Amino acid sequence: MASLVKCALILSAIIPALSYKENQTYWRQKGAEELNEALNLKQRNGVAKNVILFIGDGMGVQTIVASRIYSKGETGSLAWEKFKNMGALKTYSANKLVPDSCSTATALFCGIKANHKTSGIDASVDVNECKRSLDKKTHVDSFAVWALEAGKSTGFVTTTRVTHATPSALYAHTPNRGWECEDKMSPDAKGVCTDIAKQLINDYPGNKFNVIMGGGRQCLQSPVVDSPKDPVDTWGCRSKDGRNLINDWQNNKKKAGQTYQFLSNTEELNNTDITKDYTLGVFANGHIMYDYERNKGPKGMPSLSLMTEKAIQLLQKNKKGYALMVEGGMIDQAHHRGNARIALEEVVRFSEAIQKAVDMVDLSETLIIVTSDHDHSMQLTGYPDRRDGVMGTTKSKIDNVGFSSLLYTTGGPNNYHFSVKNGSVVREDASKQNTSDWKYSQQSAILNDEVTHSGSDVLVFAEGPMAHLFNSVHEQTHVANVIAYALKIGPYKNRDPSSGATQYHCSYVLAALMTLLIYFN
């Protein structure tokens, strides 16, 4: 009888453990696996042939965590979360604690901090200072320029307009990110400064990019046809001067005797001629539509994953290598509108594009970097149960009214779920709403015109040669310097691996002095 009782006690202890996956054995084993990975981490110190920089626009830590849970579960991983090297980046701009996308892109791509709403110029130029921005001493080159000078192929892919804030820092020098076409330029700037679209098509380095893919037809040509399937972006610039920069791009390539192709939908992208030297793909009037709503048929807009795949195929022909920037730009757009589920879905598609790249390249010669330009104000809060996921609700212990587990600190009118009833402020009960709906606007604390950015640091992940240089909390400018050092381009084109970066300190000091002289003049 005693032995039966003993067996029963043993079984009572074992059965719950067997029925619950995350028991003590599970965590000990998982801990050992992670420790072994860390202990066996090896550095790749060679020179990189290629670089792919992925920018998840507005993809802060909270967005990454929520997207992971949303798509993979708490113990899962997004494509870049298995990378063995990571750090954090400070995102402040030259004059703002909370930055915008073009000033941060300038830091990421050029290694120089810029002022709010300016792109490809240093901090001696403030927003709207057209004439000052014409001084080439204020211009800063991106890693795409350094790559071109080294004989590499270059290009970018984005789900936003190709003239939008983030990609503009690769090729443009402008004191106002809104000057994507002539229509938004101030009267004193028209005819003096060149809009971003014309800089992309006509000026160096944009006119030398081998691959350009994204939206933005409304900035490149006029008129364009507005339709539900391809809406004009009313927030963005819409050209009215009768331009057709797409035709100009093709004519320029033809006159130069270069092989080229223009692509306008998914079918044409799928049938890309990989042998062509130059490819321009413009797939939407404004931004490419959110992935959940875009037309996925042959005449529709392509996915970020497909654009990334084709861009790599086009660029990797060059034996000297390539430099590619890929932006998941609609993460940020969904956050600005306060639609958290759409933002998380865009992160999932961004992850798929990164996985596509990882599967295609040789990491012994290709440096892949994944980061964000800035954070957003979304928070995961309220102690939700794991079984409820991130799209659910919890209840306040004060008034017992439900609130969404994902919240924004600031938000537009659709996010502001407060009203006055009988002289008291009342908050809408989110538990009675469909918080998983695509267009549901998560609650915010402060009413604003839209959800604003956050000033938090963002994470950076890397694999490939010199990926271990992301190892701490860094300035955002560190990314451009790592790219230059890893590929031996730009300021580090003549680097001696044994001497580190010290041989360039003098040139940096001189550059800083020049900036000060320009600023005080």
Q: Which residues are catalytic?
A: 101
Rounded to 10 degrees, the C-alpha dihedral 329/230/218/354 comes to 20
In this structure, how many other beta carbons lie within 10 angstroms of the beta carbon of residue 298?
Answer: 13
* CA gyration radius, the chain: 25
453 is in an annotated binding site: yes
Is 57 labelled as part of a ligand binding site? yes
* Strand 424-427 to 418-421 pairing: antiparallel
- The answer to whether 346 is a known ligand-binding residue is no
Residue 247 one-letter amino acid: N
Q: What is the DSSP letter of 203?
A: S
Dihedral over Cα of 121, 151, 360, 363: its sign:
negative
Nearest residue to 195 (alpha-carbon basis) of 234, 166, 168: 168
| Residue 335 assigned as binding residue | no
Binding site annotation covers 336? yes
Helices (H) and strands (E) in the chain, counts: 16, 19
DSSP codes of every residue in 157-200: EEEEETTSHHHHHHH--BS-TTTTSGGGS-TTTBTTBPPHHHHH
Known binding residue 332? Answer is: yes
Q: What are phi and psi of 191, to 5 degrees?
A: 80, -5
Maximal CA-CA distance, the chain: 99
Q: List the one residue out of 368, 357, 303 whose CA is nearest residue 330.
A: 303
3-class SS of residue 215: strand
Q: Angle 159-160-165 (CA atoms, 0-180°, nearest 5)?
A: 135
Cβ-count burial of 514 within 10 angstroms (0-12 exposed, 13-18 middle, 19+ buried)?
middle
Annotated binding-site residue? 327? yes
The backbone region for 216, taken as left when phi is positive above 0, alpha when psi lies in -120 to 50, beta otherwise, is: left
Report how far residue 376's alpha carbon sits from residue 186's, in angstroms, rounded to the nearest whole number. 29
Tokens of 53: 């920089």
In the annotated binding site for Mg(2+), the residues are 57, 164, 166, 327
In the annotated binding site for Zn(2+), the residues are 57, 332, 336, 373-374, 453
In the annotated binding site, the residues are 57, 164, 166, 327, 332, 336, 373-374, 453
